[in-house]
Every structure is written in structure tokens, then in C-alpha cells.
Structure 1
Amino acid sequence: MSSPAQSSAVAGRSATEYRIEDLAHASGATVRTIRAYQDRGLLPTPERRGRANVYRDTHLARLRQIADLLDRGYTLASIKELLEAWDTGRGLGGVLGLVAEVHGPWTDEQAGRITRAELNTRFGGSPDDDAVAEAVELGVLEPIPGRDDEFLIPSPQELSVAVELHAAGVPLSAISGHLRELRGQVEQIASRFLEFTTEHVFARYLGHRPPTDADAAAAAAMVRRLRPLAQQTVDAELARAMRTFATRHLQHHLGSDTPLTSESSIPMTRQVDLPSETIRSVERLVGPENASAFVAAAAERELQSRTLDALVSSNNEIQQITQTG
């Protein structure tokens, strides 16, 4: 019978070993990327054997972990903090559970597939390459690698809405334009809801970077609990607003003097195009998720400033008239 030391030595020799080129092939990362990760301290130091570095399954697992976190939108700096917490024994189970919970589906809707021929049929039978390209750009359709005639449909419900609107006579260009405008407004709602819940709920769990395993697990449980609330709130408010405005529109078109909007109604909004460089500058300053709110706040502040200037100017003119009189 072999001793524990002998068994350990045998296990060590039988463990999979990789040269850097083999590790790159197995992980899908490039040799250059692996070396960059080593330089940044994201990968454990490999064993030096002669003039070559020897990598093991732990390096492969770490590369896959990094790739997964990058796909979920984490920066390399954030990933390094998480991995350092793991390496010092703090544990990543709760953090990765939180990541999975947030990155998981926020709807019960199942994705579907559709061929190009089926797509043409559903939209009247005539091919429209520009409309398909627009749908791909908006994410309504996603190309399937190796299948030029087939698409993934992330939200079949959203595509069905477009089909019904087109059948009712709405041009495809108008549908895509409306979706772009609607998406911007919904993203503002989502951003505001997250700011609200972070301030009042999640701040207590996410005060440390990275959070402790217990706090991350508690935050993940809270995400599961609060996940339906945003959808329920939007559904209820949308139903209320649709009833109010549909009634008002009907009365207006039936000859009533009822205005389509009022001071007490929900404010009407429209999309305003800004130079791309301006948008990029704002995103660099406050982050993409806060760009819309920042522009709105800046515009509001400018309006208030001009109002104050106008009031001061008006008061000065009155004083001048009074003094002259």
C-alpha cells in the first residue's frame, strides 16, 4: 500500500499539464491574453520547468471563470478583487450566486427561432433586408452562427407585437423607431428602480467590495424576492395610463373639446438626438446607466438658470422704469 505522500506525488504527476499554447486552445483565450492576465495577477504563477511554464487545470478553471465574469459585464479590475477575495479564503460562493441571480433571465418567456422564409411570411411575404438588419441591430432578432437563413428570437412576444402592428398598417420603419424611443424610456425606469432599491435595500449588503459571502447570499435572495416588483409596477401604471389616454384620445376624435394632454397628466416625451461625441463624453463622466438622467438634469438646471436670469432681468427693467418715472 502506498503512503499518502506517494499517492500525492502520483496524483501530481498524473494531473493534466499544459503548455501556454495548449492552455490557450483549451480555454479559448489567446496566448497574449493569458500572459496579460498573469501580468495583472489574475492567474496563479505557473510552475517553471526549465525554460517553459507549466500550467494545470487550476489555471484552466480560472480562465473560464474570468471569461464568464467578463461575459456578465464585469471589468478586469472588479474580477481581480473577487478573485483575490477567493484566494484569501473569503469565498466566492455567495458572490457568484449573486452574479448568477442578477445575470439570469428576468422573464419567464422562452426564446424562439424563426427562419427567414417564416419571417417574410409573417410580415406580408415580401423580403425586406433593411428591416431585418434593423431588427438585428435592435436585438429583436439574433443571427445564429452557421445558419444564415435562421434567427434566434429573444422575445417572441415582442416580435408578435411587431407583426400585429404591421398587419394593422404601421410601417416597419415606424415600428422600429417607436421601439427605440420606448426602449430609452423603459431603460430610464429600470435605472431609477435600481437606484431606488440600491439606496433603500441593497446598500446594507453591498457596503464591502467585494461583499462578504453571507451578504452576497442575502442580496441574491433579495433579488429573487424583488425581481417581480418592477414588472408588476410597470404593468399597473401602464394599464392606468393607457385607460386614461385612450379615453382622452377617443373623446377628442369623437368631437369632444377634451384636450389630449393636461397639466395633471403624465408628461409627454419625445426622443431628442444628441451628437454621438456628446453622448460618449457624458457616459465617460457618469457611466452609461446614468447618461439619460444626467442630460435631463443638466437641461432642467439650464432651464431653471435661464428662468432665474429672466426674473432678475425683468426686475431690473421694472426698477429702471420706476426710477425714470
Structure 2
Amino acid sequence: MYGETHLARLHRIADLLDRGYTLASIKELLEAWDAGRGLGGVLGLAAEVHGPWTDEKADRITREELDARFGGSQDDEAIAEAVELGVLERVPGRADEFLVPSPQELAVAVELHAAGVPLLAISGHLKELRGQVEHIASRFLEFTTEHVFARYLGHHPPTDSDAAEAASMVRRLRPLAQQTVDAELARAMRTFATRHLHHHLGSRESAIEGSETRPVLLPARTTQAVQDLVGAEQVAAFIAAATERELQARTLDTLASSRPGANKLDEMG
């Protein structure tokens, strides 16, 4: 039979395993516990890190409600993709019900689909976005570990006081990552959206201005050579620029040859 001490130890081990600790790390923590050092600080830090990083509350939705929100379409493949990505989670014993960890993320998908974006295109874009966001999160952690948390986590395992201070820093710094990303995303979206709009409006204006010009027939091999050099979208601009440069060169030659004594200078050269 296990005594209270053994049961407490087993509960600690189970708790640490649930939090993702390796057996080697658990061994170090238990040795520290045996030496009289408490685990309250470490467990408090783990609870802070493993706790929710958003104020958003999970919700539930039935398959019927889900289909209705996406225009009545029944797309099993899209549902499977959403489950794989964690946008939806199946509820054990309830085949027609799902847990929605982030209702906001689901709402974005609903709006995009209503705007005409196919469901599989939405999930594909989310996969790409998730990889980029995970890279940002990794860099944030590297940055804060180097400049903030290294002084608290230098001991293995950390003391109760160091772990408690680290947990406090997690609470303070947690919203900063979101605030930074929000600010930078807003800046980048404005910059690129403006540039994108100017590009398309500029292309239209160029087309309108160019409507007064005449088409010129060129040999197919010439057009293909230019396209291979600068791309199909830049063929017209390249040929126009090359023509302008040739005209300028000939104008300069004409001006130079019309100057008295120019031929003598050429002969002397």
C-alpha cells in the first residue's frame, strides 16, 4: 500500500507529465523536492505558461449550425481540414457536435467564404499563416529568454522565488507580443494595400493613356526574346524604353554630325 508521501509523489509526477515535462526534468524536480525545496514556484510558473494566452472563450457548434453558417453547404473534406488544423475539435460521444477553441477564427472563415473564398483555399491559407506566426512566436521566446528569463531560469530546477518572479514576468509580458504584432500588422497592411491599389490604378491609367498609340507588329522571335528577358508583363514597357533610347541616340548622332568640322574630327579619330 502506498502511504501519503508516495501518493503525493505520484500525483506530482502525473501533474508534471500532463504539463509536458520529460522524465529527466521530473527526476531533477523530485530530487530538489526530496532535498527540501518546494515545487510550488515551478508548478506556478508551469501553470502560468500552460494557461490561456487569450481572453477568448471556447464555444460549441453543431454540424447543422456549422453548415448553415457556411451557406448550407455540406463539405466533409473542409470539416476534416478544420479538425486537423484545430479550428474545430470533435466532442467525444457527440458525432454532430464540435468544440470551437477560437470563435473569432471561425467567424473569419465564415466571412471569407461569404465573400467568395472556397473553404479549402481558406484552410490552405491558414496553414501558411500558422507557419509564419509560429516563427514569430519562436523568435519572441528566444528574445525574451535571452534578455529577461535567463536570469530566473539559470538554476536547474529554479528556486521557488526565481520561478515566482518568472511567472510574474510571463503575466506582464504576455500581452506585449499581441500588441506588437497588432501594431506591425496594421502598419504592413496599410503599406501593402496602398501599394497594391496604386499598382492596379496605375496599370489602368497607363492603359487609358496608351489607347492613343498604334499597335506595332514585331517578329514573334523578337517578342519572345524580350519576354524571356523581362517577363510577359514588361514586354511593352521594355520595347518602348528601348525605342526611346534608340531615338535619343540617333538624335544625338544627328546633332553631332550637323556641327561644322564634325566630319574632320571623325576622320582624325
Q: Aligning the two structures, in what range does the TM-score lie when normalised by the shorter sequence? A: 0.7 to 0.9
Letter in 2 for 1:127: Q
Aligned residues: 205
Identity, in percent, stands at 86
Aligned to 1:108: 55
Gaps of 5+ in 1: 1-53, 258-325
Q: 1:81 aligns with which of 2, 7, 28?
A: 28
TM-score normalized by the length of structure 2:
0.73
> Is 1:205 the equivalent of 2:152?
yes
Q: 1:165 aligns with which of 103, 112, 118?
A: 112
> Is 1:97 the equivalent of 2:34?
no
Q: 1:231 aligns with which of 170, 174, 178?
A: 178
Aligned to 1:215: 162
> Is 1:176 the equivalent of 2:123?
yes
Following the alignment from structure 1 to structure 2, what is the Cα–Cα distance between the partners of residues 210 and 244?
A: 46
Q: 1:135 aligns with which of 82, 92, 101?
A: 82
Q: Of the two, which has the highest radius of gyration?
A: 2
Following the alignment from structure 1 to structure 2, what is the Cα–Cα distance between the partners of residues 90 and 231?
A: 35
> Is 1:63 the equivalent of 2:10?
yes
Higher relative contact order (Cα pairs below 8 Å, separated by 6+ residues): 2
Return the offset for 1:147.
1.1
TM-score normalized by the length of structure 1:
0.61
**Runs of at least 4 residues off by over 4 Å:** none
Following the alignment from structure 1 to structure 2, what is the Cα–Cα distance between the partners of residues 57 and 146?
A: 36
Residue 151 of structure 1 aligns to a residue in which SS? strand
Following the alignment from structure 2 to structure 1, what is the Cα–Cα distance between the partners of residues 95 and 7?
A: 33
Following the alignment from structure 1 to structure 2, what is the Cα–Cα distance between the partners of residues 135 and 60?
A: 41
Following the alignment from structure 1 to structure 2, what is the Cα–Cα distance between the partners of residues 194 and 175?
A: 28
Gaps of 5+ in 2: 205-269
> Is 1:154 the equivalent of 2:101?
yes
Return the offset for 1:256.
4.7
Following the alignment from structure 1 to structure 2, what is the Cα–Cα distance between the partners of residues 165 and 210?
A: 47
Following the alignment from structure 1 to structure 2, what is the Cα–Cα distance between the partners of residues 251 and 192?
A: 33
Aligned to 1:242: 189
> Is 1:255 the equivalent of 2:226?
no
Q: 1:118 to 1:59 in 2, by over 3 A?
A: farther
Let me know the Cα RMSD of the aligned residues. Answer: 1.6
Q: 1:56 to 1:234 in 2, by over 3 A?
A: same
Following the alignment from structure 1 to structure 2, what is the Cα–Cα distance between the partners of residues 204 and 65?
A: 26
Return the offset for 1:176.
0.6
Following the alignment from structure 2 to structure 1, what is the Cα–Cα distance between the partners of residues 24 and 147?
A: 27
Following the alignment from structure 1 to structure 2, what is the Cα–Cα distance between the partners of residues 136 and 65?
A: 32
Aligned to 1:123: 70
Deviations 1:255-307 (A, max 9, x none): 359xxxxxxxxxxxxxxxxxxxxxxxxxxxxxxxxxxxxxxxxxxxxxxxxxx
Return the offset for 1:57.
4.3
Letter in 2 for 1:203: A
Q: 1:124 to 1:59 in 2, by over 3 A?
A: farther
Residue 254 of structure 1 aligns to a residue in which SS? helix
Return the offset for 1:242.
0.3
Following the alignment from structure 1 to structure 2, what is the Cα–Cα distance between the partners of residues 73 and 112?
A: 25
Residue 95 of structure 1 aligns to a residue in which SS? helix
Following the alignment from structure 1 to structure 2, what is the Cα–Cα distance between the partners of residues 244 and 218?
A: 40
* Structure with higher helix content: 2
Deviations 1:222-265 (A, max 9, x none): 111111110000000000000001111111122359xxxxxxxx
Deviations 1:105-140 (A, max 9, x none): 100001111011101111111211111111010000
Deviations 1:184-205 (A, max 9, x none): 1000100001100000000000
